[in-house]
Amino acid sequence: MSPARTRRQEPAPIVEWLRPGVFTQAEILAELRRALVAGVAAPGSALPVDAIAERFQVSRIPVREALKSLQAEGLVEHQPRGEYIVTRLTQAEYTELYAMREALESLAMRAAIHRADDEMRSRLATLHTAAGEALAAGDAYAWDRIGRRIHATLIAASGMTLLPKLLDTVFNIAALAQPMGLVTAQELDELHGEHGEMVQAFVTGDADRLISASHRHTTHLQQLVASLPQDLDVFASPPKDESPELA
């Protein structure tokens, strides 16, 4: 995440998405993270501290502290003149990110499949059905949000405590550019089918099939991201009339 990639310095449209009012330090951090991961500010765009502080009705201090925390999470970068921008990854960094994701997910899924119960299986099946409905409606953003919940459910089923936090950070960084908003409907349909195979493998308790399906899915994601425009001025931000919630 090199300081050289800083040519986009216009104020980010993040301010209008933030919920106004007085927030605690923890709430300010969570709200900024929520908006960034929802993709409401393009990678490389500036994060105006004064405007954000005014939106929250607080001083600059808690906003700067929150941005420092987000920098530690890899979501923002600090510039030489004291400004903060949304993290902007190179293709090489995306490749590294997905390699990390695959290694961590494989570890979690092997543990998860041996702890599966009917409630977990039912939850995954319900999520995959909901994702299919979003896909049929042409809502790539809803599909992506539900897809992340599918992965999160599989990971949480492992019973591990530290690994899900690491993966959450990896997913958050990858979400900044909202790559799923730029892929074709056919590609989304293929990704949805891969999710379906993963869910089916989990439901039937087939660990090898689950890991194999997860590997194909991650490889496919890497290929898609590599094929997207190198110039991240091409950015698929969510429609203005949609809430950036990540429930």
- The string of pLDDT tens digits covering residues 93-110 is 888 999 999 999 999 999
Contact 31, 63 (CB under 8 A): no
For residue 227, is pLDDT > 90?
A: no
Confidence category of residue 90, pLDDT binned at 50, 70, 90 = confident
pLDDT, tens digit (0-9, with 9 covering 90-100), for 193-217: 999 999 999 999 999 999 999 999 9
What does each C-alpha distance from 102 to 41, 124, 151, 220 come to in angstroms? Answer: 26, 19, 11, 12
CA–CA separation, 203 and 104 (whole Å): 20
* Tokens standing for residue 121: 């299986």
pLDDT, tens digit (0-9, with 9 covering 90-100), for 175-197: 998 888 888 999 999 999 999 99
User: What single letter denotes the amino acid at residue 121?
Assistant: R
To the nearest whole percent, how much of the chain has pLDDT over 70? 87
Which SS3 state, helix, strand or coil, does residue 85 take? strand
Q: Where is pLDDT greater, at 82 or 54?
A: 54
